[in-house]
Amino acid sequence: MQEKENFEMVISLREVQTGKRAGRASRAIREIRREVRRHTGATRVIVDPLLAELVLGRGRNRCPSKVTVAISKIGEKTVIVKSVLKVSA
């Protein structure tokens, strides 16, 4: 099966919301990295600073429940994860 170089996916952060309130944003970033590793098989996942700002935008304890991300392969086992902001017409 051929691997995709670039694709989008929606990552649910509901597991992060059900845990302790303190430090939810840090757990959300870890969850994003874990999901991307699981789907791509990458050993190194780089999170774009704009995505981190999106997760931290409402504070460390109030992160979004789901995030749409764009995943781009930049090396053999390295991927970069960026946020996707969809504008409705």
pLDDT at 26: 92
pLDDT at 87: 52
Residue spans of the domains in the chain: they are 6-83
Q: Is 55 exposed, middle or buried (0-12, 13-18, 19+ CB in 10 A)?
A: buried
Q: pLDDT digit of tens for each residue in the chain (89 aa)?
A: 456 788 999 999 998 888 888 889 999 999 999 999 999 999 999 999 999 999 998 888 888 999 999 999 998 899 999 999 765 44
pLDDT at 86: 64
pLDDT at 89: 47
**Domain 6-83 has what CATH class?**
alpha beta
Q: Cα angle vertex 66, ends 72, 89, to 5°?
A: 80
